[in-house]
Amino acid sequence: MSEQKRDFSNARSILATDCGSTTTKAILIELVDGEYRQTFRGEAPTTVEAPFEDVTRGVLNSVLEVEELARTRNDNRRILNGEEIITPQDGDSGVDIYISTSSAGGGLQMMVAGVVKSMTGESAERAALGAGAIVMDVLASNDGRLPHEKISRIRQLRPDMILLSGGIDGGTVSHVVELAEILHAANPKPRLGMSYKLPVIYAGNKEAKQTIWETLGSVTDLKIVDNIRPVLERENLQPSRDEIHELFMEHVMAQAPGYKKLMSWTDAPIMPTPGAVGAIIQTVAKLMDISVVGVDIGGATTDMFSVFDGIFNRTVSANLGMSYSVCNVLAEASLPNVLRWVPMEMDETELMNRIGNKMIRPTTIPQAMEELKIEQAIAREALRLSFVQHKQFAVGLKGVQKERTISDAFDQSGSGETLVDMMNLDLMVGSGGVLSHAPRRHQSARMMIDAFLPEGITQLAVDSIFMMPHLGVLSTVHEKAATEVFTKDCLIYLGSCIAPVGPIKPGKKMLDISLTFADGKTETHELMQGDMFSIQVAYEEPVKAVLKPAKGLDIGAGKAQEITTELQGGLVGLIFDGRGRQPFVLPEDPTTRVAKLQEWSLATAEYPETETAAE
C-alpha cells in the first residue's frame, strides 16, 4: 500500500485489476458528469507462472490496454509511467485509486476446525468462506474421525492457513485444546514458502488462549483473535475475516511471484476474488435494503452468495462447474435430470458422450445450436445443485435456546433452518461465462429461472464483464463509487420473473394481470398453469401492475391476495412463469416434455432462430 489513510472521497479515477488464474482484467472507473462510470476495460494473460513469474507483468499489460483505449478518447490520458502506475491523478495522468484482487494460484485454501461441526465448526467455515477462501475440510471433535486420520488429512491437504475455533467464552477448554494438539502433532507446512510457519488463527474460547499458545505457539505462526462464537446465540465473524485477509496478504500473497511489488502499488489490501464479490453483494444489499442472491459459475467451481435479512453467506461448490467439473455435474444430478432440460429428442448415450467431450476439451465453446442447448441444460443442473448446497449451508445458528408458547404445540419449529427465502428475494445476479456470455440474454434469464425457481416477483440481472471482484474491493475504500458502477455498468438488468406459488390443477388460471405502461397504455393478461410468456418492458420504463392470484396461490402478499406494484423490466422484459412453484413439475413423458420446453422457449424468445427454422 503506497499510502495509509488517504482520503479517497473525491477520487476522480479508479483503476482496479483482478488477477485470475489465467487472465488479469483491468477496469478504469472515472467520474463522468458527477457520477462514477466504468469507462475502459483491458485484459492480458496472468503472469504468475514461468517464464515471467511476476504477477505485475500481467497487471501492467492489462493496464496498458486500458490506457491505450483511454487515449482513443483523450490523447493525453496516461496511467502508466514506464512500469509504474501513476497515483494520484494529476491532470490527465494517473489514477487516484489503484486496487486489486487475486485468485491466482488457486486462491486462498483453508482448513477450519471447531468443537461441534454444526456449531463452531460451521461458524468457522462461514468466516473462511466469507473471507473468500476455499474450505478444504472441516475438522471437529464429533466428525467421527480418529485423531490419526485427522492428522493424516491435515498433512495431505497442506492448506494455506487454518482457522481454529471452538467453545464459547467460558465454555469447553479440553475439546479445543485437543484439536490444537492434533494440529501440533500434524506439524503442517504451508503450501507456499517452505521456510515459513503455517499461519493459524485461533478464534475460540478465550479461557483456552494460554494453553493454545503453549501448544501451537512454537510450531505455527499463531494469531489469536476474538472468539468466533462468544455465546452460542451470536456469531462474531469479522475479526476472523480481517485476520484471514491480513494473513492472506502476509503469507499467501507475499509468497507468490511479484505480489510483494503489487501489494506496494495498491491503495487497499489485495482481496481474494470471491471475498471481493461477496463484499460488493453485501454492500449493495445493505445500501439498497434488499435481499440478493449472486452466483458465479466457473469451469471447475460455482460460488454462491446470498444476503437475507442482512446476513451474508457464501458457499463454494467445488465440484460443480461447466468444463473441468462438468462430468461431476452429470454424476450428481443424474442423466435424467440433465436430459429434462434438453428441448429436443436425444439419446442418453449421446448426451453423455457430448458431456464427456466437454470435460476432456474444457476450453471449447459450443459451435452449434444443439451444443449450446445441451450446455445450457447442464448449466441449469449445476446451478440448481449449487443452490441446494447453498440453502443447506445458509442457515440460522444451531444450539440456540427457544422460547415457546402453548400455540407451538403442533408446530415446533427447529433451529438451523435455511435463511434463503425465495419469496422475499429481490434481486438475483448471475455471473460466469455461461450466464454472462450467453448468445442471448433471454437464455441467461431462462437458465436462472429454471435453476433457482424464483418465487413471487424477482428481478434478474447478469454481471456484464465480471466486474464484481473489482467493485468488491473498491467498496472497501469508496462505497459510493462501487455502488454507482455496480448498478449502472456492472449489472445488465434482464427483467423480472413473476411466478405464483402454490398447488393448482393443470390448465387452471393462476394469475390475473393488469399492466399500465409508462406511456399510459394498459394491458390485461391471464397466466394459466403450465404456461409461460414474456412481455417487452425496458428497464428505464417500469410498469405499474395489479396482480391477482387464484385461490390458494401466493404472489407475495399471501394466498389469493392481490398486489399492486411496480415491475422492473430489462433486456428480456417481464417473464410470467406459470409452470408452478411448490410443486414445480416438468412433464414426465419425453414427447410432451420436449413440446412444452419448445413452447416455453418460443414464448420467452430463448432460441428464436431455431424455432423459426423449425416452422
Partner 1 sequence: MKARFARFTALALLLCLTAITVTSALAQDTAPPAPVQEVIAEDNPNDRGHAVLVRWHPSPDDGTTGRVTEYRIYRARCLPGVQPEVAEFERVSICSPALGVGAELDFVDVSDEIENGIPYLYKIETHGSAGVSSTIIDEPVIATAQWFDKSRLTMLIAILIASSVIIYWIQKAQGNTNIYLRPVAGLKAFDEAVGRATEMGQPVLFVPGIMDMDQIETLAGVSILGYVANMTSRYETKLEVPVSRSLVMAHAREVVKESYLSSGRPDLYHDDMIHYLTDDQFAYAAAVDGIMLRDKPAACFYQGKFYAESLILAETGNSIGAIQIAGTASPAQLPFFITACDYTLIGEEFFAASAYLSNDMRHIGSIRGQDSIKMLFMIALAIGTIYVSLACLGVPLPNWLDMSLILDVSGS
Contact positions vs partner 1 (CB under 8 A)? 115-116, 118-120, 141-142, 144, 166-168, 170-175, 229, 232, 398-399, 401-402, 404-406, 408-410, 412-416
Would you say 26 or 176 has its CB closer to partner 1? Answer: 176
Would you say 229 or 241 has its CB closer to partner 1? Answer: 229
CA angle, 446 as apex, 573 and 285 as ends, to 5°?
Answer: 70
CB 502 within 8 A of CB 540: no
In 3D space, the residue among 559, 553, 441, 566 whose CA is nearest the CA of residue 500 turns out to be: 553
CB 210 within 8 A of CB 171: no
Please give the grid coordinates belonging to residue 483.
455502488
CA angle, 395 as apex, 393 and 401 as ends, to 5°?
Answer: 135
Would you say 404 or 505 has its CB closer to partner 1? Answer: 404
CB of 427 to partner 1, least distance (A): 31
CA angle, 118 as apex, 231 and 391 as ends, to 5°?
Answer: 110
CB of 332 to partner 1, least distance (A): 17
Would you say 9 or 415 has its CB closer to partner 1? Answer: 415
Would you say 169 or 421 has its CB closer to partner 1? Answer: 169
Would you say 171 or 188 has its CB closer to partner 1? Answer: 171
Neighbouring C-beta atoms of residue 334, cutoff 10 Å: 11
Beta-strand pair 509-516/522-528 = antiparallel
CB 297 within 8 A of CB 409: no
Q: Where are the alpha helices (DSSP H) in 144-207?
A: 147-157, 174-186
What are the phi and psi torsion angles at 291 (to 5°)? -100, 140
CB of 152 to partner 1, least distance (A): 19
CB 547 within 8 A of CB 497: no
In 3D space, the residue among 94, 91, 61 whose CA is nearest the CA of residue 80 turns out to be: 94
CB of 149 to partner 1, least distance (A): 14
Please give the grid coordinates belonging to residue 164.
481454529
CB of 232 to partner 1, least distance (A): 6
Would you say 99 or 127 has its CB closer to partner 1? Answer: 127
CB of 417 to partner 1, least distance (A): 10
Would you say 167 or 298 has its CB closer to partner 1? Answer: 167
Would you say 398 or 544 has its CB closer to partner 1? Answer: 398
CB of 227 to partner 1, least distance (A): 11
CB of 226 to partner 1, least distance (A): 16
Peptide bond connecting 88 to the previous residue in cis, omega within 30 degrees of 0: yes
In 3D space, the residue among 529, 534, 388, 525 whose CA is nearest the CA of residue 453 turns out to be: 388
**Residue position matching grid coordinates 449449487:** 386
CB of 140 to partner 1, least distance (A): 10
How far is C-alpha 214 from the chain's CA centre? Answer: 39
Spatial separation of the C-alpha atoms in residues 281 and 293, rounded to whole Å: 8
